[in-house]
Amino acid sequence: MNETAPICAMDAQTGGEWWRGAAIYQIYPRSFADSNGDGIGDLPGITAHLDHVANLGVDAIWISPFFTSPMADYGYDVADYRDVDPTFGTLADFDALIARAHALGLKVTIDLVFAHTSDRHAWFADSRASRDGAHADWYVWADANPDGTPPNNWQSVFGGPAWTWDARRQQYYYHQFLKEQPQLNVHLPAVQDALLDVTRFWLDRGVDGFRFDALNHSMFDPAFTDNPPVTDNRPRTRPYDFQVKKFSQNHPDVVGFVERIRTVCDAYGAIFTVAEVGGDDAMPLMKAYTAGNHRLSSAYGFDFLYAPELDAALVAKVLRDWPGTPGADGQSEGWPSWAFENHDAPRCLSRWADDAARAPFGRMIMALLVALRGNVFLYQGQELGLLQDDIPFHLLKDPEAIANWPLTLSRDGVRTPMPWDSHAPNAGFTAGTPWLPLSPGNIARAVSAQVGDPATLLAHTRAMLALRRAHPALRLGTVEALTVAGDVLTFTRRVADEAIACAFNIGRHRHALAAPEGTPLLALNGADAHHLPAWGVRFTKESIL
């Protein structure tokens, strides 16, 4: 069955926005490079390896949280938004990282976690101490029901009720994740003001952008209405999955906070802001958070991150979901961002390809990533073709995996250390004992084993990113003539004076394809003018009259 649908979109112009169409490399600091031998990656380790990142040809880095934290959720439980955890270094180390990145032409994006803090944060300590203190209502507190049970039926992402009793206040506090991550009351203007001051603090240190973690979790129904049950028959592993999260998150007032964030960032110039918006039916929220020129730059798509398989229909759906046309309210559509894997989602080659197909499949999906309209994110080690590691239970660190063992896939398997040197102890990651083990298979894929070899995925990644940077149509263009025919996906990326026809065979069988008109730009995995073999790719630059 053939599907053909031209996607009409406005010409994409950067308008001086460095981030539009950018390629961004995600660094999970615990696992990137350890400079002091304690087995945990740190900021000086990142700085020492930024040449590798710059040589890939990306535009920016995104660093996952490095703030002061007791590490209940490995940095996503922030105890001080304005300082670096000693595990990772100091503020001076961060300043040195910024300076080195900028010297290499790399922008720096960091995570901000505004839905919750650590229970060790000074704000929470003051909030739980008294119902009358300065921070008394900065978190979400509620009285028990007459029988002592929690105020409603809301469940936490990591398992169990989203409410924990606090004897000091004689109330329950709300937490959408761990009990060590109490929910901020972001409805409160004073809390928003404090979070905006945090944003200014990092902008003043030279940060070029932010990823806002779990942004749709930042507000809730103040009436604490019970969530309704899910009525379908899909399998479930957590109590959280039994509910439609109608009232516990996704409150429409988040949009007003988004606009305040944008106002602060605009005062500093072309700052990149991307919202993480997960959960069921996230698309309307992603569109709302990014509509027009007064909200966030982009939203981070989850379409690929947990997909058990990759096929042409999925890619076509993603492209159709973000055509670039104005929305129903007439406001311009936001700019999408895509990733195939990250610190929470399993390695894509482990999900999508078997051993025999991984080399050609890896080349194909890297070409696909750079051809997508929007920003593209690579997670550390993706350029090496790293696979998901199997971490035994006794070595697990991930609190979600421990709580839901063995039904929840451990996030630790994608967080294992970056292999730098296949012949060095611990693959050159650390002189000590790594906080998570490195597998022999991934050690064999180390940077040292691939650098200088044009046949490797590392070399191919560099070539694909260079191709995207060299062609405005791939970086900024519209999507036209989108067609799906079984495993074959074709579309054209077009900008003012350039058009590139892209053809992908996302399958194992050879397909005939009409010969293109124009100049060949790319042929992968045996593709030629008339055929696309298994995992074949063809890019052709069309003649513009």
Q: What is the pLDDT of residues 453-463, one digit of tens each?
A: 999 999 999 99
> Is 326's pLDDT higher than 80?
no
- State residue 252 phi and psi, 5-degree precision: -65, -20
> Is 393's pLDDT higher than 70?
yes
Catalytic residue list contains 309: no
Which two tokens mark 80? Answer: 């001080």
Give the max Cα distance, the chain. 76
Please report, rounded to a whole number, the percentage of residues in the chain having pLDDT higher than 70.
96
Q: Is 88 exposed, middle or buried (0-12, 13-18, 19+ CB in 10 A)?
A: buried
Q: What is the mean pLDDT of the chain?
A: 94
Q: Do 74 and 30 form a contact (C-beta atoms < 8 A)?
A: yes
Q: Is 279 exposed, middle or buried (0-12, 13-18, 19+ CB in 10 A)?
A: middle
Which two tokens mark 477? Answer: 């263009």
* pLDDT interval class at 11 (50, 70, 90): very low
> Is 91's pLDDT higher than 60?
yes
Confidence (pLDDT) at 280: 81
Confidence (pLDDT) at 198: 98
The residue among 403 and 136 whose pLDDT is bigger is 136
Taking only Cα atoms into account, the Rg of the chain, rounded to an integer number of angstroms, comes to: 23
CA-wise closest residue to 254 among 277, 279, 225, 283: 277
* pLDDT interval class at 237 (50, 70, 90): confident
CA 279 remoteness from chain centre:
14
Return the SS3 of 427: helix
Which two tokens mark 157? Answer: 């992402």
Please give the average per-residue pLDDT across 287-296, as a whole number: 94
CA-wise closest residue to 106 among 206, 211, 212: 206
Q: Do 85 and 66 form a contact (C-beta atoms < 8 A)?
A: yes
- Per-residue pLDDT tens digits for 170-218: 999 999 999 999 999 999 999 999 999 999 999 999 999 999 999 999 9
Comparing 284-288, 401-405, 499-503, which segment has the lowest mean pLDDT? 401-405
* pLDDT interval class at 543 (50, 70, 90): confident
Please give the average per-residue pLDDT across 265-284, as a whole number: 92
Please give the average per-residue pLDDT across 63-78, as a whole number: 97
Please give the average per-residue pLDDT across 373-379, as a whole number: 97
- State residue 514 phi and psi, 5-degree precision: -60, 140
Confidence (pLDDT) at 328: 64
For the four alpha carbons of 336, 339, 343 and 344, in that order, the dihedral sign comes to: positive
Q: In 10 A of CB 231, how many CB atoms? A: 6
Residues 6+ apart with CB under 8 A from 85: 66, 67, 68, 69, 71, 75
Kindly give the residue spans of alpha helices, DSSP state H, lying in 182-298.
189-204, 254-266, 283-290
The torsion angle over the Cα atoms of residues 129, 134, 135 and 141, rounded to 10 degrees, is: 70
Please give the average per-residue pLDDT across 464-479, as a whole number: 97
Confidence (pLDDT) at 8: 33
- Of 93, 276, 383, 400, the catalytic one is 276
* pLDDT interval class at 6 (50, 70, 90): very low
Confidence (pLDDT) at 4: 39
User: Residue 437 has what DSSP assignment?
Assistant: P
- Of 180, 213, 383, 398, the catalytic one is 213
Kindly give the residue spans of alpha helices, DSSP state H, lying in 130-253.
189-204
Confidence (pLDDT) at 86: 98
Report d(CA 68, CA 77) in Å as an integer: 9
Catalytic residue list contains 281: no
Residue with tokens 């063992």: 405
* pLDDT interval class at 327 (50, 70, 90): low
Q: In 10 A of CB 1, how many CB atoms? A: 5
Question: Pairing relation of β-strands 107-113 and 209-213?
Answer: parallel
Please give the average per-residue pLDDT across 227-251, as a whole number: 91
Report d(CA 175, CA 533) in Å as an integer: 50
> Is 83's pLDDT higher than 90?
yes
> Is 495's pLDDT higher than 80?
yes
Q: Angle, nearest 10°, between helix axes 358-371 and 457-470?
A: 20
* pLDDT interval class at 516 (50, 70, 90): confident
Confidence (pLDDT) at 232: 87
Confidence (pLDDT) at 56: 98
Please give the average per-residue pLDDT across 102-129, as a whole number: 98
The one-letter amino acid code at 457 reads L
Confidence (pLDDT) at 330: 66
Confidence (pLDDT) at 257: 98
Which two tokens mark 421? Answer: 């040197």
CA-wise closest residue to 325 among 6, 10, 3: 10
Please give the average per-residue pLDDT across 336-343, as a whole number: 96
Report d(CA 370, CA 130) in Å as an integer: 53
> Is 38's pLDDT higher than 60?
yes
> Is 13's pLDDT higher than 70?
no
Domains and CATH numbers, the chain: 476-541 (2.60.40.1180)
Report d(CA 29, CA 35) in Å as an integer: 11
> Is 494's pLDDT higher than 90?
yes
Residue with tokens 């929840």: 408
